Amino acid sequence: MRKFGIIGVGHVGVTIAYTLVTKGIADELVLIDSNEKKAVAEQLDLEDCQARLDTTTHIKVQDYQKLADADILFITSGNIGSLQHNDGNRWAEFEYTRDIVKDIAPKIAQSGFHGVLIDTMNPCDAIAHYLQRTAGVETSKCMATGTFLDTARMQRVVAEQFGVNYKNVSGYVMGEHGESQFVAWSTVRVNNHPLVDFAKANGKKLDYDALEEEIRKGGWAVFSGKGYTSFGIATCAIKLAQAVLSDAQLECPVSSYNSKYDTYLGQPAVVGKNGIEYVNEVKLTDAEEAKLANSANTIKEKFATM
C-alpha cells in the first residue's frame, strides 16, 4: 500500500493531493489542515471524482495517528499574505512557518511516523532544517524541494533561448531557494553539449546575468500573476516522492543537509528508498564554490536571527 500524508491543503497541498489521486499514485491519503472545514471539503471533492477514475484512493482527514505507517509526508503549509506584502521575499514567511513547525512537529513525532518528510514551505531550506531538528528525524529522511524547482526554471529559460526541448537542458541551480541562489553554469549542458560550446556552435551570445535574473524572478512572475505558485512546486514534490517509493536513485538538485556548512541548501543529491541516499559532489569553479559558500552563510545568518 502506498500511503501519503499532507499537512496543509492550500494551493500546493491540494495540487499534490489531486495529482496523487487522479494519477493513481496513492492507495491511501491523509489530509490535515488547521482549517478542518477546508480539509473535509477537499476530501469530499476528491472522493467525488473517484467514480470517474480507474483507481481508488482511501482518504482520511485530521488524524495524525493515521500518519504512523505513511511512506511520505508532505509539509505544505504557508502564508500567502506575508509574501504578497513583501514582494515575494520568502524569508517574510519564516516567522509564520516556524510557528507552524513548532505546532506540528511534536504531533508528527508522537504519531510514530517514520517515513520521509518532503517540505515545500518557505523559506524551504531553513524550514527543512528546523523541521528535521524539531521532529527529531534523521537528516536523510527530511528534504525540501529547494532548487529542484529553480533548476526546472533554468531549463525552461535556457531551452527557450536556444529553441530546444526543456528536457534536453541539464545542470544545476544551487544554494538557497531564494535571492542568493545561483546557476552553476559550468554544469549546464544543452543536447548533452556544454552550454558554452552549444552557444558558440549556434552563433548565440551568452548573457549569464540576464539569464540568471530571469530564472531567479521566474517564481515571482508566476506569483504576482496568479497570486500563488502551485503546479511547478507540486510536480517537484511528487517527483521526489515517487523517487523514494520506487527507489529510483534519482539524481537531482534538492534541499538537503550539507555537513560542510551545517545547513540545508540546494545541492545535487541522489534520492531513493531511504530519502537522501547521498549528496552527489560535483566539481564547481572557484567562483561557483564562493557563491555556494555565500548562499550557505546567508541561510545560516538569517536562520540565526529568527
Pick the catalytic residue from 58, 114, 129, 177: 177
pLDDT at 94 over 90: no
pLDDT at 19 over 60: yes
What is the C-alpha R_g of the chain? 19
State yes or no: 33 annotated in a binding site: yes
State yes or no: 232 annotated in a binding site: no
pLDDT at 83 over 80: no
- Please report the sign of the dihedral spanned by the C-alpha atoms of residue 15, residue 21, residue 25, residue 28: positive
The count of other CB atoms within 10 Å of the CB of residue 259 is 8
Amino acid, single-letter form, for residue 222: V
Write down the pTM of the prediction: 0.94
Domain ranges in the chain are 3-144, 147-305
157-183 per-position pLDDT tens digit: 999 999 999 999 999 999 999 889 999
Whole-number Cα distances in Å, 236 to 5, 55, 145: 16, 22, 6
- Top pLDDT among 66 and 302 is at 66
State yes or no: 88 annotated in a binding site: no
Position 218 confidence tier, pLDDT thresholds 50, 70, 90: confident
pLDDT score for 89: 63
Mean pLDDT lowest among 28-32, 87-91, 229-233 = 87-91
- Top pLDDT among 212 and 155 is at 155
Position 304 confidence tier, pLDDT thresholds 50, 70, 90: confident
Tell me which residue has cell 499537512.
Answer: 7
127 is written with which cell numbers? 524550514
State yes or no: 12 annotated in a binding site: yes
Compute the average pLDDT of residues 42-48: 98
| Residue 177 annotated as catalytic | yes
Whole-number Cα distances in Å, 284 to 13, 168, 183, 190, 216: 35, 21, 11, 18, 20
State yes or no: 11 annotated in a binding site: yes
Helical spans, DSSP H, in 49-93: 80-84
pLDDT score for 85: 45
Mean pLDDT for the chain overall? 93
pLDDT score for 224: 87
Per DSSP, 121 falls in state P
How many percent of the chain have pLDDT more than 90? 84
Position 6 confidence tier, pLDDT thresholds 50, 70, 90: very high
pLDDT score for 88: 55
> Taking a C-beta distance cutoff of 8 angstroms, is the pair 9, 75 a contact?
no
CATH T-level assignment (fold) for domain 147-305: L-2-Hydroxyisocaproate Dehydrogenase; Chain A, domain 2 (3.90.110)
Quick one: three-class SS letters along 24-54? Answer: CCCCEEEEECCCHHHHHHHHHHHHHHHHHCC
Whole-number Cα distances in Å, 23 to 19, 20, 189, 290: 6, 6, 31, 42
144 is written with which cell numbers? 525540501
Position 216 confidence tier, pLDDT thresholds 50, 70, 90: confident
Q: Select from 125, 238, 132 the least CA-distant residue to 176.
A: 125
pLDDT score for 302: 81
Helical spans, DSSP H, in the chain: 11-22, 36-48, 80-84, 94-111, 124-135, 147-162, 195-201, 208-216, 218-226, 231-245, 286-305
pLDDT at 32 over 70: yes
pLDDT score for 95: 82
Which CATH architecture group holds 3-144?
Answer: 3-Layer(aba) Sandwich (3.40)
DSSP assignments along 258-303, one per residue: ETTTTEEEEEEEEEETTEEEEE------HHHHHHHHHHHHHHHHHH
pLDDT at 110 over 70: yes
272-294 per-position pLDDT tens digit: 999 999 999 999 999 999 999 99
pLDDT score for 223: 85
Whole-number Cα distances in Å, 210 to 150, 167, 183, 205: 15, 21, 12, 11
